[in-house]
Structure 1
Amino acid sequence: MKAAVIEARGRAGLVLRDIPVPVRQPGEVLVRVHAGGLNRVDLYMRDNGVGITHTLPQTAGVEAAGVIAEADADSGLVAGQKVAIFANAFCGKCRYCLAGDQPLCVRAHIMGEHRDGGFAEYVAMPARCALPLPDHVDLVEAGVVLTAHATAWRMLFGKRALRPGETALVVGVGGGVAVACLQLAVQAGARVLVTSSSDDKLARAKALGASGGINYRSEKVAKRVLEMTNGEGVDMVLDSSGAASWDDSLRSLRRGGRLVTCGATTGSNPGADLQRIFIRQLEVYGSTGASIEECRQLIALFGRGAFKPVIDQRFALEDFAAAYDRLERGDQFGKLVLTMT
């Protein structure tokens, strides 16, 4: 089978190879992959990978959807069935797994990080990680739902849910998670403001339901947010940028508001501004991934057509380098997807 394989660090180290089809182990399924979404972590694994236990060579890709090729008879899954892959091969035994909070699993092995990933014609994963899809769904769209949208779902509704009528600020709209946050927040009945360095991306966000946009290159974000909220600030900020936006994110919150972070693409050590946090009684918490149950809820919503993932551009597996380059430049609005068929 063809696969995008990380053989060494850096752009030249990710190559297209013909490798054997994975041999599934008992309790696993073999999935014929149709499509897989590209994510920032895929860049990190290509170029760095520090802190993630793995061995090269390794097939890339933390997100995929396809059809069952092989499964145990007692798995409840059958050949030809459409599935999206829950990327976290969780242990099922630690305190977090037993509580249904798989993203906190202490022995997690994530597809494309700790084990071979989905940028290949076939991938093997535990059967519990193959989440059935309705027969009518498009597998290319399904291939971009369980990373960005699942991350957004947990950010928005995981700890203290965004409620109808509240106002959220999505930082850096354009990336997959930010666009997913916008879509799901609008779906939940919230008012959504967005930031970007691109007026075109701000316009596209407004077409998806954003109530207002702020160009952080030419405007002072926190000042504009206060103007747009009658001096109060927003209820929730969703920030995957990190250091560059942190100060504005804190200053954009109302008293008692919450900041949810899922990334640090511009740096992981911003000034904490502790006085603002405790005086205004702000909540700051991290979020990553989603639980199995959260993903099932998301798939049900997707299957009903309540939202349609925004796909910026599709690439054949053979053109993975161009997809990675576009992601690295930050040109995209929505998701980049690799198709295997």
Structure 2
Amino acid sequence: MLAAYAAGQDADHPLEGLVVGEITDPGPPEPGWVPVRVRAAALNHHDLWSLRGVGLPADRLPMVLGCDAAGVDDQGRDVVVHAVVASPGWRGDETLDPARTLLSEKYPGTLAETVWVPPGNVVPKPPELTWAEAACLPTAYLTAYRLLFHAADLRPGRRVLVQGAGGGVSTAAVVLGRAAGLEVWVCGRDEARNQRALELGAHAVFPSGARLPAQVDAVLETVGEATWAHSLRAVRPGGTIAVAGATSGAMPPADLGRVFFRSVQVAGSTMGTVEELSRLVAFLVASGARPLVDEVLPFADAARAFRRLLDGDVFGKLVLELPEA
């Protein structure tokens, strides 16, 4: 089957290990798993980390990349794939399973004509969403959904600051926050990306680290070291900093005095559950909001899509489409 997979790893030149070509379909990796014929799959920085050798041991190569996909299951149903795979017998929130994994870490991922998943790892794709839109949801949009409505526990009328403009999670947070009736502020270092965030639905944008006109109820933090001090200053007493990443570094000064004197809550969050993915899909249908797709490319152009992702030349999601079987 056609796939985009990691055949090698290089921390400095990750695309050297990328292959787009034929690979043997291994069949179900575990008993009872079901095939999904992929119609669209979205790229994530997780794929680049795998090619760099982070989170994917070399002894698992070759490994089909990809966490996000929408396609058709073995019953002929249009579905969205949930990428978090819990260990056998786990019950409850799968993101809390210490042995959880993502597709493309232990099991082959979604950047292929077929992906095998546990039967509980699919949710129905409604006709209102295109294949490309549905493929954007399992990582960036699910992460943003959980940050906004679970970790930060926001409600309509509350004010949220999104650190960073242009990335998959940050653009998802703007789209979802605006649709949910939140007042959405964005801080970013690139003026052009800030302007695009404003056009996307942000109520206000500011340069990174800027003094804000008021404090916010919550901050969505995926940048880490470069923005942490600003996030602590921006959040109101009793507010929440919801953290789902640290792209600029994971070891900022803690400033614990500000945390406990102001009763700031710091809530970690990873991906989301299959139930939250179902609610996210329903939210998009009901609200009319849609994922921001930067570009849809044929699967044969996967290498070019990876190059764009590596170069940072992306605002929204990059999606690869496969023809109907």
TM range (shorter): over 0.9
In structure 2, distance between residues paired with 1:274 and 1:268: 16
Partner of 1:108: 100
Partner of 1:283: 265
Partner of 1:269: 251
Q: CA RMSD in A?
A: 1.8
From 261, 276, 283, the equivalent of 1:301 is 283
Q: Contact 1:173/1:194 (CA < 8 Å) preserved in 2?
A: yes
- The amino acid that maps onto 2:84 is N
In structure 1, distance between residues paired with 2:271 and 2:248: 20
Partner of 1:316: 298
In structure 1, distance between residues paired with 2:62 and 2:93: 30
Please show how residues 78-117 of structure 1 align to structure 2 within 5 Å.
78-79=75-76, 81-91=77-87, 93-94=89-90, 98=91, 100-117=92-109
- The amino acid that maps onto 1:20 is T
In structure 1, distance between residues paired with 2:199 and 2:15: 35
The answer to whether 1:184 aligns with 2:189 is no
In structure 2, distance between residues paired with 1:285 and 1:190: 19
Partner of 2:6: 6
From 32, 36, 48, the equivalent of 1:43 is 48
- The amino acid that maps onto 1:7 is A
Q: How many residues are treated as equivalent by the alignment?
A: 318
In structure 2, distance between residues paired with 1:280 and 1:135: 46
SS at match of 2:60: coil
- The amino acid that maps onto 1:37 is A
**Structure 1 segments (4+ residues) deviating >6 Å:** 51-54
Going from structure 1 to structure 2, the CA distance change for 1:301 and 1:47 (only over 3 Å counts) comes to same
Partner of 1:205: 197
In structure 2, distance between residues paired with 1:136 and 1:213: 31
- The amino acid that maps onto 1:290 is G
Partner of 2:25: 21
In structure 1, distance between residues paired with 2:34 and 2:200: 37
From 147, 153, 158, the equivalent of 1:155 is 147
Going from structure 1 to structure 2, the CA distance change for 1:53 and 1:15 (only over 3 Å counts) comes to closer
In structure 2, distance between residues paired with 1:188 and 1:326: 31
The answer to whether 1:257 aligns with 2:239 is yes
Q: Which runs of 5+ in 2 are unaligned?
A: none
Please show how residues 102-141 of structure 1 align to structure 2 within 5 Å.
102-141=94-133
Partner of 1:75: none
The answer to whether 1:339 aligns with 2:324 is no
Q: CA deviation at 1:136?
A: 4.4
SS at match of 2:133: helix
Going from structure 1 to structure 2, the CA distance change for 1:161 and 1:54 (only over 3 Å counts) comes to farther
Q: Which runs of 5+ in 1 are unaligned?
A: 71-77
SS at match of 1:147: helix
Q: Contact 1:54/1:115 (CA < 8 Å) preserved in 2?
A: no
The answer to whether 1:326 aligns with 2:300 is no
Percent identity over the alignment is: 37
- The amino acid that maps onto 2:139 is T
Q: Contact 2:152/2:267 (CA < 8 Å) preserved in 1?
A: no
* 1:18-69 alpha-carbon deviations (Å, 9 max, x no partner): 122342354221111111111111111111224769711100001111111x
When normalised by structure 1's length, the TM-score is: 0.88
Q: CA deviation at 1:288?
A: 0.9
In structure 1, distance between residues paired with 2:111 and 2:252: 34
Q: CA deviation at 1:135?
A: 3.6
Q: Contact 1:162/1:185 (CA < 8 Å) preserved in 2?
A: no
Q: Contact 2:243/2:268 (CA < 8 Å) preserved in 1?
A: yes
Q: Contact 2:151/2:268 (CA < 8 Å) preserved in 1?
A: no
In structure 2, distance between residues paired with 1:189 and 1:59: 39
When normalised by structure 2's length, the TM-score is: 0.93
Q: CA deviation at 1:165?
A: 1.4
SS at match of 2:263: coil
Going from structure 1 to structure 2, the CA distance change for 1:249 and 1:53 (only over 3 Å counts) comes to farther
Q: Contact 1:52/1:114 (CA < 8 Å) preserved in 2?
A: no
In structure 2, distance between residues paired with 1:52 and 1:63: 21
Q: CA deviation at 1:289?
A: 0.7
